[in-house]
Amino acid sequence: MFVAANAQYQAFQVTREELAELADVIKLLEMRLALETEMAGLAAARRTTDDIGQIRGALRRMEDAFADPREAALADSAFHLAIARATQNHYYERLIDFLGVRLVPPRNMYLRDESEEAHKAYAAKVRAEHDDLVDAIIRMDVPRARAAARHHMQESLSRHSQLSEIASLRTTSAS
């Protein structure tokens, strides 16, 4: 095999190593903010009854997996993949499937030293954000679905940005 040195095509990738740094997680969340906003709008416009069942099933799996942050992240990824499928646009599905668990930073990344109550409060907040998004998709309310997805992603971005600021302050004060 031979690959030309001037080949223009490069496949998009997001490696686990790239997401080891909080700054890169934030960059991925910035990308998801735009992507998931429009994805939710399309899902609301095009979803089927079966799609609603898949989305709700993933939401139940997230709730059932609360005690295990890794399993909860996998269920959260399945939730977003179910929404991608509801767009009836296979490119959304392929992109979200490709991102997989990299799509959802596990909560132990930012709640590592927090109490069980903090984990429960976080899970309840995310659940409320997801419930609002699902309700808008079920009702085929495109503007509300977009707004709910944007709100959910903005909240995630804010949580991770705050964590980054705290980490930066710790590094500065340790110097």
**Domain assignment present for 9:** no
Contacts for 48 with CB less than 8 Å, ≥ 6 apart: 86
**Domain assignment present for 12:** no
**Domain assignment present for 25:** yes
Domain count, the chain: 1
Question: In terms of residue numbers, what domain contains 157?
Answer: 21-108+115-174
Task: Provide the pLDDT for residue 115.
Answer: 76
Residue 4 has pLDDT above 80, yes or no: no
Distance CA 150, CA 173 (A): 34
Contacts for 92 with CB less than 8 Å, ≥ 6 apart: 35, 39, 42, 84, 85
Length of the chain: 175
Task: Provide the pLDDT for residue 47.
Answer: 98
For the record, the structure tokens of 20 come out as 């080891």
The CATH number linked to 54 is 1.20.120.530
**Domain assignment present for 135:** yes
Distance CA 102, CA 77 (A): 8
Distance CA 42, CA 46 (A): 6
Residue whose entry in the numeric block shows the structure tokens 């979200």: 96
Distance CA 143, CA 132 (A): 12
The per-residue pLDDT for range 133-175, each reduced to its tens digit, is 999 999 999 999 999 999 999 998 998 788 777 767 766 767 6
The per-residue pLDDT for range 86-96, each reduced to its tens digit, is 999 999 999 99
